[in-house]
Amino acid sequence: MERGGYVKDLERQVKYEIIVNDQKICRYVADFRYKKVDDDGTEETVVEDAKGFETPDFKLKKKLMKAVHGIELFLSRKS
């Protein structure tokens, strides 16, 4: 996808600190972060995680990422 021009600035294992009221709660490590390039040239940052299934820990971190960082995680399923 990167060679085809659909994504750019691909990063792997991106770390996010989840801090609430100046207290570190946990760390979330995303599998990928990249900019998705649409046909019209607009770019959207995507934070992606590849999972076989969603663990309770992941479900909680997904909610915390949305609440603390305003980031909606994209989940790709492993076969």
Share of the chain above pLDDT 90, in %: 73
Averaged pLDDT for residues 34-59: 91
Q: Over the chain, what is the mean pLDDT?
A: 92
Q: What is the reported pLDDT for 18?
A: 97
Q: What is the reported pLDDT for 77?
A: 85
Annotated domain spans of the chain? 7-77
pLDDT band at 79 (very low <50, low <70, confident <90, very high): low
Residues in Cβ contact with 22 at an 8 Å cutoff, skipping those fewer than 6 apart? none
Q: Distance between CA atoms of 6 and 73, rounded to whole angstroms? A: 19
Q: What is the reported pLDDT for 52?
A: 86
